[in-house]
């Protein structure tokens, strides 16, 4: 199984970035370049949707409502990443385990 990790061809993306960077003030170029670095990659929601599409015969038997499941995984992941404390992480681990049952 192979998933495309680019939303558009790399040469098209790079040309867009060059164009954008050429039109912003010099002081902001590094900041904007860093902010756009991963914008050609699919986000987690898209990756999970693709995973479901590729494996629908298997996953549809395990997970009844794909949309609800994906939303819950994203919520738990965001809590784990952005609310970093031990209790939140343990709670998120438990939630993710529960959602996968």
- Domains of the chain: which residue ranges? 7-41, 42-101
Task: From residue 90, give the alpha-carbon distance in Å to each of 7, 44, 48, 94, 96.
Answer: 34, 21, 23, 6, 10
Q: Model pTM greater than 0.85?
A: no
| Tokens read off for 14 | 């790079």
Q: What mean pLDDT do residues 38-43 have?
A: 91
**Is pLDDT of 51 > 60?**
yes
Task: Indicate the average pLDDT of the chain.
Answer: 83
């Amino acid at each position: 199984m192979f998933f495309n990790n680019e939303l558009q061809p790399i040469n098209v993306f790079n040309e867009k970035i060059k164009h954008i960077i050429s039109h912003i003030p010099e002081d902001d170029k590094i900041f904007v370049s860093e902010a756009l670095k991963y914008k050609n990659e699919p986000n987690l929601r898209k990756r999970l949707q693709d995973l479901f599409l590729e494996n629908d015969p298997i996953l549809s038997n395990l997970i009844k409502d794909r949309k609800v499941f994906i939303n819950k995984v994203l919520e738990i992941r965001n809590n784990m990443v952005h609310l970093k404390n031990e209790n939140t992480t343990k709670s998120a681990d438990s939630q993710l385990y529960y959602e996968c049952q």
